[in-house]
Structure 1
Amino acid sequence: MDMKVWILLLLLCCNCSCSGSSRQVIKGENDVVWIVQLSDLHFSVHHPERASDFQESVTRTLSMLNPSLVLITGDLTGFCLSPPADGKSKDHLTMKQNEQEWVEYQKTMENVITKSGLDRSIFYDLRGNHDNFGLPTAFDFFSNYSITAQLGRSQSTSTRNVVFVSFDTTMSTGLRGPTNLFGHPTDQLLTDLNSHLSQWDSTSSTKITFGHFPLSFSAPTRSKNNLQQIFLNQSVTAYLCGHLHSRFGKNLKRRHQETDSSNLIQLNMHPKGTSKKVNDFWELEMGDWRKSRAIRLLAIDKGRVSFLDTDLKTGSKEILILPTYPLDSRYMLNKYKFESTEDTSHIRALVFSSAIIASVKVKIYDSSRHDMVVLEASMSKNDNLYTAPWNSEAFVDPSPSRYWLEIQAVDNNGVTVSTELMPFSLNGLRADLSWTWKEFFVMGCQWAELYYPIFWSFYLFVFTTLILPKIIISVSKKHYTYKYFKANKGVINGLTWVFAELDSIPFLWNLMLAYLLYLILCPWISGEVFSKGGHGDRGYMTYKGWVVNFDDLKSLEFIGFPDIMVIVIPHIYFVVLPAVVIIGALAAERAVYQDHVCSLSGKKRDDDGESRSKDHNVSGWMLRKWARGILVIFSLAVCWKHFKNCWALMKAYEMNPLVHFPFYSFSIPLLLAYAFLQGKKTITPFAC
C-alpha cells in the first residue's frame, strides 16, 4: 500500500536576517521522496557562463526530476574581487562582495524557478564562506538576494517524517579570505539544533542535515562541543555539504560513528567496525558547480537513503536512474544491520527522462561466478518509481560485494542509459571504499583540533635542533667537529655537529632564534581584514588569529581561529623550516671545506707534493662549488615560495610589505643571504 511521505524542513540560520527556525511540509508519493543538491556556484562577473549554464542545464534537469526540495549549500556568488574599477580579479587573491553578482544570482534563480515550473518554496539556499565577506555591514547581500532570506515558512507535523535541517556556521564577522576557511558553529546554534532534532523520534523519522562546511573544516565551539556529537546523539542519517569542490577528488565522503567521535584522524572512509549497535551517519560532500557542473540527486525510500552524483558539463541528461533498493553496500549504516526485513520484496529504482520511457530492466551479476547474470527482469512503472519482484533471501551473502546491480532504461527515441555496476548487501555488511591521499587529507583530519599540535611540533623540532646542541656542547668535553663526526658517525652526532657549526656563527644563530620567537610573540601582518564599507580599521594577525579590537589589551579577542592556519602552517613548514635546514647545511658545508683545506696544509711534500696539493685543492673547490650551487637552488625555491605567499597576502589584505609586514616579508631572505655571505668568507690554512 502506498504511503505519503512528509518532508519537514527546519531552517536554522544564525547569521542572517531570517534568524530563527521555520518549517515546511512537502508531500511525496509511494513512500519515496527525492531532492536535488547543488553547491559552490560561484557566479562571477568574470565567468558569466556559470550562470548561463546553470539557467539552461539546471532548469531542464529540475523540470525533468520535479524534486521535493532543491538545496544549494553555499558559495552562491563570488570567488575574488580586485580593486573596484575592474570588479572581480582573475588572480583569485582579493576577496570581497560584489552586488552585481548577487543581482545576477537572484535573476538566474527567478528564471530557473519560473521555467522549471517548480514552486519557489522548495528552494533553499545557504550562505557559504564566499558569501560572508564584510559582515555585519551593508555588504550582507545574502539577506537581500537569497531565496531563503525572503521566504516565510509554515509549520506542520505528520506520522512519517523525513526531517531536513539546515544551519549556517559562517562567522558572524565576515573576514576576507583566505582566513575564512572554517565553519564556526556556536554553542547556541548547537543547542537549537539539538532541540529541533530531538523533537522527532529517530525510529519513525529520517533526519538529514545540510550545511556548507565539511566537519573536517568545522571548528569546535567555545565549550569544545561540535556538530558531529549532535548528529550522532540525534541519530542523523546523513549530512550534506559542499565547500571543497572536486579538485581534491570525487569521493569526499566519510562515515562517522559514536566510538570514533573524538578521533582527530580517520585513516579510512569507514572507521573501525563494531558488532555493537552504535549510531553512525554519512557525511556527503559534493562537487562544485563552478568548474565541475556537479549536481546530486538524493532519495529517501522507506527511510533508506541513496544518492547519485553526476555532472552537467555537456548539458542536461536525457535519462537519470537512481536505484533506491537494495542499497549500495559501500554506503551502508550500522542501523541497516538491525532493521526488519519488511518491504524487501521488490527491487526499486527512480527513473527520470525527458522523453517517454519504453522499458526498464534490472540485472544482477554474481562476481563469484565470473560476473554471470543471475537475475534479469523487467521493471513495472508507478509514476517515476520502477519496481521488480525478487526473492531477496536468495541474495543474502556474507560478502558485501558478491552481487552487483545494474539498471538499464530505454526511451522511445532509442536512448539507452545504464547505471554503473553497484555492489549491494541485504544484511548490512559494508564493502570496502577507500580515499586517495588527497581525499584523506581534506576529509580524514579534524584540522581545527590538529592546528596547535602541528604548530607546536614545528617549534619543538626547531628549538630542539637549535638549543640542544648548544647545551650538549656546553656540558660536554667533546669537540663536535667534522673530524669527530667522521670518527663517530651517527644521526645524533651528525645533527649535533651541524648545529654546533651553526652555533659557531653566533650572530646568525641569534637572528634565527629571534625570528622564531617573533613569530610567537608578535603580530605577523597588519591588513584590511574586512571588506571596504565595513569596519575600516586594520587587523593584526598572530598565530592565534586576527585582533581587531584593542580596547582591552589584557584580554584580546582573537577571530579567525583556526582559519589563520592556512597562512601560518605553510609559512613555518614550507618557508621557515627549509630555511633553517639550508642555513644548517651551509654551516656544515663550510666546516667540511675547512677540514679539506686543513688536511691539505698538513700533508708532507715530496718531489711532486706541491702538484698533488694543487690538484686536491682544485677538486675540493669544485665540490664546494657544486654543493653551494645546489643550496643556492634550494634557497631560490624557498624564496620564490615565500614571495608568492607575500604577494597573495599583499593582494588579499591590501598591504605594503615595507609598512604592514616587513618582518614576515624580509627576514627569511635576509637570513639566507647572510648565511651565504658567512659561508663565502675565505678559508685559509691559518684557520686550522
Structure 2
Amino acid sequence: MSLSRSTITFICVLLLLSIIVATFLNSIATDHNFYLDSKAQEENHTRYLGRKYGQITDDPKNVVWFLQISDIHLSIFRDPGRISQFQQFCDVTVKIVKPMLVLASGDLTDAKAKDNLGSSQVKMEWVYYQNIIKESGVTDHTLWLDIRGNHDNFNIKTIDAEENFYRNFSVQGTQHQRSYVNIQEKNGVRIAFLGVDACPEPGIRRPFNFIGILDEGEQENLRRLKSEAIAQADQIIWFGHYPTSCILPLVINKQRMSLRDEIGDNAKTLAYLCGHLHSMGGFVPRMYTKQKRGYLELELADWKDSRMMRLMAVDHGLFSFVDQKHNTWPLVLVTNPKHAQYIMPGREPLELIEGSTHIRILAFSNVDIVDVKISFDKNNWQECLRREGPLYVCEWSPHLFAEGLHRLFVTVTDEMDKEVTIDHLFSLDGSVLGFEVNPRILLMLDATTIFQGIFATLLLATILPLVLLRFQKRPPKYHRRCGSNVLRRLWLLSKIDRIYYPLILYTIYLPFGPWAIGELIDDHIGIVFAWGIVVKGTYIPEAFTYMYGSVQLMFVQIPLFFVLAHSLTTKLFCQNIKGIRRLFSNLPFIFLLSIQLLLAYFFWLEYGTMAFVFGPLRTWSIPLNIILWYKTWNLPLDHCRKLRSLNDL
C-alpha cells in the first residue's frame, strides 16, 4: 500500500515532535539517582558521615543553622521599605535566629536610574548597605557572606574599576573580589560554603547583563576552591546569584566547563543556592529542583518585593530548609525526619533517620515560645521538649512509618498567641515527591538554548509564511472564512516586490548584522549583535540579546505583515474612503508605530543617544516601516490593477 505525500509528512512531523518532547522530558527529569552513578564514592561518604554523627537522639550537638537572603536591591529612588526592613533583618531577625552565618546571594543594590531604565552604580546605595551592616553589629556575632549579582556589576569596566563599589562597601569584597570559599566548623559540623561569582567582565548596562559567564580565570579559580573545600570539609554548599541555567560557560581549549557537573561530581555537595529570577514575579514561588547529579538547586524569592528569607540547617549531615516572609513568626524547621521531597541519596546519611530516637525541630520567634507539639494524624498531639537554644525534640518510633509517605504536623505557639502549623511529609523507604514542572524548566534547562530557540522560531515564523505565499500562484484557501481572508491578504502583499524584499531582507539581517552601536559602558563604545556583544575589544556571548530581538519580532515585525496586508486591502478595495474613516483604517499602523517609538525610547534611556541613532534594531526599523506603509498606500495604478486581477483568480 503506497503512502500519500501528506501521510509521510505527517509521520515525519510526528516523529520529530516525539523526539523533541522526549528530549525535553529527559532534560527536566528529577528521578536520577546520584547514588547509582558512582556507588563506591557515595557509600564511603555516607558511611563516614554515619560513623561520625552516630545515632540521632535529643542531643543538641551536630546541628547548625544559617540564613540566606537574595536580590535585596537597596535603592535610593524607590521603595524605602527595602532599606528599613533590611535594617530590621540585621538588627532583629539575625539576632533572634543566631545563625552560624548569613548568605547574601547577589543584587545587593539596585543600581538603576530614577527612570527605572538607565543603570549605573550608585555609591549612596552601597553606603546604605555598608552602614546597615556596621551599625547593626551583625558581623560581630555571625559571619556574613555576600557575593555580587548582575545589578552589582552594571556599568563596570573592570573588576578593579573605581565604580566597582563591591570591593570597598561589601563585607567579603575587601578580601575576595570574585568567587571564594569559607569553611566553617561548629557544634561538630564542618561545612564549606563556596560562592560563585559569574558576573561578566566588563559589566554592561542593563538589559544586556542577564546571563552570567565563567571565563577561563574564574573556571580555574572555582576548581581550586572546590579542591580546597573537598579536602577540608565534610559537606559543601555552593551559592551564587545566577541559577545554573543562566550561567554560560566559555569553551576553552576545546573544553567546556559545566558548572552543574563541577558542583555535582562529588558526593560532599548538598545544594546550590541562588536568586536572580525573583520567583518569576511571584508566579513560581517554590523554585526548587534536584539536578541530575543528585544535589538540590534552590532559587530564593527576592527581598526586593517579596521580603523573603531562607532558614537552612544541617543536622547530623541532613540538609533541610524553609522559605518564609520576613518578620513572620514563629519560624519553624523540621530537621529530623527530613522532608521526603528533598532527600539526596548518596549525599546524606539517610539511614540515620530510620535509627533515630527523636524528632528534631528548630523553632524561633520574636517572643518566647510557649508550646511546640506534634501529631501524625492531627488528633493525638504530643508535647515537644526544649533541649538547647531553638532545638525542640520528641521521642518517636520510626519503625511504625517504615513504608510509604507519612505526614507530620507541627504546631508552634509563642507567648503573643501567634501560632503556626506546618505539614511535613517524610518517608523512610526512599519514597519521594516529585518537583513541580515550572521550577524544573527554569532551573534545569539552559536559558541560552531557550532564548536562541525562541528567537529562531519567531524568525522562521516571520520569514517562511511570506516566502511560501509568494510562490503560490493562486490565492490560498482555508476552511474558515476568516483565516482564508487573512491568507489572501498576505498572499497579495507577498506579490509586491517593493514591499516583499525590504520585509524579508530586514528580517534576514537581524541574526547577522549589528543591532546597535553605542556606549554600552561609560566612555566605551560597543556593538550589539544577536549572538553577542563586542566592547573594549572583548567578546561577551550575552544570550539575552536573543530575547531582546524576539520582542522586536513578536511585537513589531510579525504584526507589521498583517498591518500592511490590511492597508493593502483597504487601498485596493476601499479607494473612496476619506476623512475619519481613513484615519480609523490606519489605526492598526498608528498603534504599531506607537509601540516601536516606545521601544526605541526605552532603548535611548538604556544606552544613550549614540545607540539610539545607530540602532538598526529599534530605531532604523521605524522609518523603514513608515516607508513601507506609505508605499502600500501609494501603489501605482498598474500595480493595483494587477493585484485585483490576481485576487479574482
| TM-score, L = length of structure 2 | 0.78
Matches within 5 A, 1:71-110: 71-81=103-113, 89=114, 91-110=115-134
1:360 maps to a residue whose letter is V
Residue matched to 2:330:
319
Matches within 5 A, 1:595-614: none
Residue matched to 1:253:
287
**2:392 paired residue among 386, 389, 409:** 386
Measure the CA separation in 2 of the matches of 1:333 and 1:154: 23
**1:228 paired residue among 257, 260, 271:** 260
**1:424 paired residue among 415, 423, 426:** 426
Residue matched to 2:312:
298
What RMSD, in angstroms, separates the aligned Cα atoms of the two structures?
A: 3.8
The answer on whether the counterparts of 1:241 and 1:284 sit within 8 Å (CA) in structure 2 is yes
The answer on whether the counterparts of 2:330 and 2:420 sit within 8 Å (CA) in structure 1 is no
Residue matched to 1:39:
70
Residue matched to 1:354:
366
Measure the CA separation in 1 of the matches of 2:488 and 2:474: 5
The answer on whether the counterparts of 1:406 and 1:418 sit within 8 Å (CA) in structure 2 is no
- Shift of the alpha carbon at 1:175? 0.7
Residue matched to 1:197:
226
- Shift of the alpha carbon at 1:180? 0.4
Measure the CA separation in 2 of the matches of 1:317 and 1:664: 45
Q: Which of structures 1 and 2 has the bigger CA Rg?
A: 1
The answer on whether the counterparts of 1:3 and 1:30 sit within 8 Å (CA) in structure 2 is no
Measure the CA separation in 1 of the matches of 2:51 and 2:372: 23
Matches within 5 A, 1:31-430: 31-47=62-78, 48-81=80-113, 89=114, 91-113=115-137, 118-119=141-142, 122-133=143-154, 134-136=156-158, 137-151=161-175, 161-198=190-227, 205-222=234-251, 223-235=255-267, 236-246=269-279, 247-258=281-292, 279-312=293-326, 316-335=327-346, 339-341=350-352, 343-365=355-377, 373=379, 376-398=382-404, 400=405, 403-411=406-414, 413-430=415-432
1:170 maps to a residue whose letter is C
Q: Structure 1 residues 317 and 664 mapped into 2: Cα distance closer, same or farther (>3 Å)? A: closer
- Shift of the alpha carbon at 1:198? 4.6
1:146 maps to a residue whose letter is S
SS at match of 2:193: strand
Measure the CA separation in 2 of the matches of 1:650 and 1:154: 43
Measure the CA separation in 1 of the matches of 2:433 and 2:587: 48
- Shift of the alpha carbon at 1:444? 5.4
The answer on whether the counterparts of 2:103 and 2:145 sit within 8 Å (CA) in structure 1 is yes
Q: Structure 1 residues 639 and 338 mapped into 2: Cα distance closer, same or farther (>3 Å)? A: farther
SS at match of 1:528: strand
Q: Structure 1 residues 216 and 406 mapped into 2: Cα distance closer, same or farther (>3 Å)? A: same
Say whether 1:480 aligns with 2:485. no
Measure the CA separation in 1 of the matches of 2:298 and 2:541: 25
- Shift of the alpha carbon at 1:686? 12
SS at match of 1:193: helix
Measure the CA separation in 2 of the matches of 1:297 and 1:685: 72
Measure the CA separation in 1 of the matches of 2:534 and 2:618: 17
The answer on whether the counterparts of 2:451 and 2:544 sit within 8 Å (CA) in structure 1 is no
Q: Structure 1 residues 560 and 252 mapped into 2: Cα distance closer, same or farther (>3 Å)? A: farther
Q: Structure 1 residues 329 and 256 mapped into 2: Cα distance closer, same or farther (>3 Å)? A: closer
- Shift of the alpha carbon at 1:290? 1.7
Residue matched to 1:462:
462
1:396 maps to a residue whose letter is A
- Shift of the alpha carbon at 1:578? 2.1
The answer on whether the counterparts of 2:384 and 2:392 sit within 8 Å (CA) in structure 1 is no
The answer on whether the counterparts of 2:287 and 2:299 sit within 8 Å (CA) in structure 1 is yes
- Shift of the alpha carbon at 1:187? 4.1
The answer on whether the counterparts of 2:63 and 2:313 sit within 8 Å (CA) in structure 1 is yes
The answer on whether the counterparts of 2:525 and 2:536 sit within 8 Å (CA) in structure 1 is no
| Deviation sequence 1:231-276 (CA, Å, 0-9, x none) | 2212322111111224143534232443xxxxxxxxxxxxxxxxxx
Residue matched to 1:453:
453
Residue matched to 1:508:
499
Say whether 1:664 aligns with 2:634. no
| TM-score, L = length of structure 1 | 0.74
Say whether 1:520 aligns with 2:520. no
Q: Structure 1 residues 56 and 427 mapped into 2: Cα distance closer, same or farther (>3 Å)? A: same
Q: Structure 1 residues 225 and 578 mapped into 2: Cα distance closer, same or farther (>3 Å)? A: farther
- Shift of the alpha carbon at 1:632? 4.4
Residue matched to 2:551:
570
- Shift of the alpha carbon at 1:685? 11
Q: Structure 1 residues 426 and 202 mapped into 2: Cα distance closer, same or farther (>3 Å)? A: farther
Matches within 5 A, 1:540-579: 540-549=527-536, 557-579=538-560
Q: Structure 1 residues 492 and 41 mapped into 2: Cα distance closer, same or farther (>3 Å)? A: closer
Q: Structure 1 residues 503 and 212 mapped into 2: Cα distance closer, same or farther (>3 Å)? A: same
1:539 maps to a residue whose letter is G
- Shift of the alpha carbon at 1:461? 3.1
Task: State the percentage of identical aligned residues.
Answer: 24
Measure the CA separation in 1 of the matches of 2:345 and 2:596: 48
The answer on whether the counterparts of 2:467 and 2:494 sit within 8 Å (CA) in structure 1 is no
Q: Structure 1 residues 168 and 431 mapped into 2: Cα distance closer, same or farther (>3 Å)? A: same
- Which consecutive residues of structure 2, in runs of 5 or more, have no partner in the other structure? 1-49, 54-58
SS at match of 2:564: helix
Q: Structure 1 residues 309 and 149 mapped into 2: Cα distance closer, same or farther (>3 Å)? A: same
The answer on whether the counterparts of 2:517 and 2:611 sit within 8 Å (CA) in structure 1 is no
The answer on whether the counterparts of 1:74 and 1:211 sit within 8 Å (CA) in structure 2 is yes
Measure the CA separation in 2 of the matches of 1:500 and 1:163: 64
SS at match of 2:618: helix
- Shift of the alpha carbon at 1:687? 5.6
| Deviation sequence 1:197-247 (CA, Å, 0-9, x none) | 355669983321000011222113224332112122123221111112241
Measure the CA separation in 2 of the matches of 1:467 and 1:569: 20
- Shift of the alpha carbon at 1:650? 0.4
2:77 maps to a residue whose letter is H
The answer on whether the counterparts of 2:127 and 2:169 sit within 8 Å (CA) in structure 1 is yes
SS at match of 1:661: coil
The answer on whether the counterparts of 1:540 and 1:546 sit within 8 Å (CA) in structure 2 is yes
- Shift of the alpha carbon at 1:147? 0.6
Paired positions, count: 572
The answer on whether the counterparts of 1:143 and 1:150 sit within 8 Å (CA) in structure 2 is yes
Measure the CA separation in 2 of the matches of 1:334 and 1:157: 24
Residue matched to 2:9:
none
- Shift of the alpha carbon at 1:458? 2.8
2:259 maps to a residue whose letter is L
The answer on whether the counterparts of 1:404 and 1:424 sit within 8 Å (CA) in structure 2 is yes
Measure the CA separation in 2 of the matches of 1:250 and 1:243: 13
The answer on whether the counterparts of 2:157 and 2:203 sit within 8 Å (CA) in structure 1 is yes
